[in-house]
């Protein structure tokens, strides 16, 4: 059994170290903020789905503000995009904080990223619930949403890029201090996944660069096929991030919890 | 890098499976022609109603048993609303949209293709069985999407 002990670089020698009772309250607070926001999005999106089911089954009558496509868009965006983004980002931040022990770590970048993500989510959610963005979570042009929706989606993604920068910064810090050591496996999975995330979300940001001026009326036409391809450039890899999260848990948290070991560290990294 | 024997076996198994799937899909596509309905022909979406043959959507007889059907999708209807086809006819559908993305779908036939403004989608089907077929839009296109339907009568 592990006992309480003060923060020490010692724990980095053991890999992985998820079971350590060593906690840094500030870091946990940021991770919890991410996970609670994800859970709230899941709860709200699920509630909308449930209400629509009851409404379709004629169990209840929904007020006209809760029309089917508006609620379906809110359901899809909250579950597929918002829930996934906050949960995955929070999980990998957790992996970094727990395995790269860094006393006095600055969380400014991490909190800033979270704030940008939250701002984007609120902008997009407000515009959907206001009935100005009933475009489903795929938002295929030339269905047009309010610019607020597109700005919101852009901020949600840009916020995750800030978090990705924070994750990479922590890994670089570790490598500078411990050149001879391997990056702890959970931190390695976290960093590679965040890099994959940035590559995948390039598609959304590129699409938004086309959609925002168009929705503001600055440009008149939109390339229907191009925007759809850019969406799926992101939408298809989106499912990888759940599997990467599952890999992190299977390969590091589960073996630690149940006293097992990682069968092959090298192959896991591969 | 040391790789355990068991892991080598699993890796080989995974790579072999990928190779088999790739060969199967490529063979099906190249040799047997299993490709999704595609849209390669373009059209100005603002001028659909004045561009032949979409200015007069409907059925054209090519020869006995072989037809072409021209459809235009706009929120929230397919034109023509009803189409009568002789039983046993091979029909090639040419479909375009004037406004947003629609989905051209005839349940129970395998006819199912996305229709984008600016492009002409093509899909063929042989209507062996007489009856009334439902033609609907299966790609969300706005507030009246659920009402976007037409019928095809085969007799």
Q: What is the CATH number of the domain that holds B135?
A: 2.60.40.420
The answer to whether A116 touches A23, Cβ cutoff 8 Å, is: no
Rounded to the nearest 5 degrees, what angle is found at the Cα of B75, between the Cα atoms of B69 and B80?
25
Token output for A225: 């096929």
Supply the pLDDT for residue A221. 86
Kindly state the tokens that stand for A94. Answer: 């957790």
Q: Each residue of B15-33: pLDDT tens digit?
A: 999 999 999 999 998 888 7
Residues B56 and B132 in one domain: yes
ipTM of model over 0.95: no
Expressed as residue numbers, the domain containing B13 is 1-35
pTM: 0.85
- Based on the domain organization, do B64 and B5 belong to the same domain? no
* Closest by Cβ to A267, choosing from B7, B117, B119: B7
Nearest one of B74, B82, B63 to B100, comparing CA atoms? B74
Examine the domain organization and report whether B102 and B47 are in the same domain: yes
**A65 falls in which pLDDT band (50, 70, 90)?**
confident
Residue in this structure with the two tokens 């929705």, named with its chain if needed: A215
Under a CB-based contact definition with an 8 Å cutoff, are residues B73 and B149 in contact?
no
Query: What whole-number percentage of chain B has pLDDT above 70?
Result: 97
Q: Looking at residues A219-241, what average pLDDT do you find?
A: 92
- Provide, as residue numbers in chain A, all residues whose Cβ is less than 8 Å from the Cβ of B4: 263-264
Mean pLDDT is lowest, of A10-24, A183-197, A224-238, for: A10-24
Residue A260's pLDDT band, with cuts at 50, 70 and 90, is confident
pLDDT for the residue numbered A4: 44
User: B110 and B65, same structural domain?
Assistant: yes
Higher pLDDT, B41 or A78: A78
Tokens of A87: 């949960």
Q: Do residues B96 and B120 both lie within one domain?
A: yes
β B102-106/B39-42 pair status:
unpaired
As a whole number of angstroms, the distance between CA A230 and CA A17 comes to 39
Question: B54 with B23, same domain?
Answer: no
Residue B142 shares a structural domain with residue B86: yes
Same domain for B104 and B54: yes
Shortest distance between the Cα of B31 and any Cα of chain A, in A, equals: 27
Instruction: Please indicate if any CB of chain B lies within 8 Å of the CB of A142.
Output: yes
B46: closest chain A residue by CA: A221
Q: Across the interface, do B140 and A228 touch by the CB < 8 Å criterion?
A: no
Residue in chain B lying closest to A138 (CA): B140
User: How many structural domains comprise chain B?
Assistant: 2
User: What is the band of A268 on the pLDDT scale with cuts at 50, 70, 90?
Assistant: confident
Predicted pLDDT of residue A5: 42
> Looking at chain B, which residue has its C-alpha nearest residue A134?
B142
**Domains delineated in chain A:** 19-269 (1.20.210.10)
Interchain contact A262–B (C-beta under 8 A)? no
Q: Identify the burial level of A128 via C-beta atoms within 10 angstroms of its C-beta, where 0-12 means exposed, 13-18 middle and 19 or more buried.
A: buried
In a shared domain, residues B20 and B56: no
**pLDDT tens-digit readout, A209-229:** 999 999 999 998 889 889 999
Q: Does A170 touch chain B (CB under 8 A)?
A: no
pLDDT on residue A24: 59
Which pLDDT does position A2 carry in this prediction? 45
Least confident range of A84-88, A138-142, B66-70: A138-142
* Chain B environment of A263 (Cβ under 8 Å): 4, 7
Q: How far is CA A108 from CA A101, A133, A165, in A?
A: 17, 32, 12
Q: Which long-range contacts (CB under 8 A, 24 or more apart) does A255-260 make?
A: A255/A16, A256/A16, A256/A17, A256/A18, A256/A19, A257/A18, A257/A19
- Give the separation between CA B114 and CA B102, rounded to whole angstroms: 6
Q: Do B85 and B23 sit in the same domain of this protein? A: no
* Residue B124 host element (H or E): strand B119-127
What distance in Å separates the CA atoms of residue B56 and residue B48, rounded to the nearest whole number? 10
In terms of domains, do B31 and B46 share one?
Answer: no
How close A31 gets to chain B, by Cα (Å)? 34
Size of interface A-B (CB pairs under 8 A): 44
Q: Identify whether residues B51 and B109 lie together within a single domain.
A: yes
pLDDT at A95 over 60: yes
**Cβ within 8 Å, pair A142-B99:** yes
């Amino acid at each position: 059994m592990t006992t309480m002990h003060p923060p020490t670089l010692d724990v980095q020698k053991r890999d992985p170290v998820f079971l350590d009772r060593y906690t840094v309250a500030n870091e946990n607070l940021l991770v919890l903020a991410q996970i609670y926001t994800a859970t709230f999005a899941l709860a709200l999106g699920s509630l909308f789905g449930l209400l629509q089911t009851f409404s379709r089954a004629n169990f209840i009558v929904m007020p006209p503000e809760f029309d089917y496509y508006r609620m379906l868009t809110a359901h899809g965006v909250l579950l597929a995009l918002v829930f996934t983004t906050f949960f995955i980002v929070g999980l990998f931040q957790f992996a970094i904080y727990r395995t790269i022990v860094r006393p006095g770590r600055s969380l400014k970048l991490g909190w800033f990223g979270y704030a940008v993500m939250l701002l984007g989510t609120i902008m997009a959610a407000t515009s959907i619930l206001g009935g100005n963005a009933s475009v489903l979570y795929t938002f295929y042009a030339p269905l047009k949403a309010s610019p607020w929706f597109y700005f919101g989606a852009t901020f949600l993604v840009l916020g995750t890029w800030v978090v990705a920068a924070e994750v990479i910064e922590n890994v670089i810090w570790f490598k500078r201090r411990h050149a001879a050591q391997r990056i702890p496996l959970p931190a390695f999975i976290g960093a590679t996944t965040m890099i994959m995330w940035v590559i995948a979300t390039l598609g959304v940001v590129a699409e938004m660069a086309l959609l925002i001026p168009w929705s503001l009326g600055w440009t008149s036409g939109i390339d229907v096929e191009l925007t759809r391809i850019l969406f799926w450039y992101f939408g298809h890899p989106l499912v990888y991030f759940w599997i990467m999260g599952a890999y992190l848990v299977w390969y590091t948290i589960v073996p630690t919890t149940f006293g097992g070991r990682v069968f092959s560290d090298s192959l896991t990294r591969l | 890098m040391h790789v355990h024997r068991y892991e080598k076996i699993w890796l080989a198994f995974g790579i072999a499976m990928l190779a088999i799937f790739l060969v199967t899909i490529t063979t099906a596509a190249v040799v047997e022609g299993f490709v999704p309905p595609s849209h390669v022909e373009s059209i100005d979406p603002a001028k659909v109603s004045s561009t032949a043959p979409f200015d007069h959507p409907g059925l054209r007889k090519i020869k006995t048993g072989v037809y072409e059907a021209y459809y235009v999708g706009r929120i929230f209807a397919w034109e023509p609303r009803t189409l009568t086809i002789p039983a046993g006819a091979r029909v090639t559908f040419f479909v375009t949209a004037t406004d947003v993305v629609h989905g051209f779908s005839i349940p129970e036939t395998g006819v199912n293709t996305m229709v984008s403004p600016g492009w002409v989608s093509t899909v063929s089907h042989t209507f062996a069985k007489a009856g009334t077929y439902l033609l609907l839009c299966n790609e969300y296109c706005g507030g009246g999407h659920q009402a976007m339907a037409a019928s095809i009568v085969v007799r």
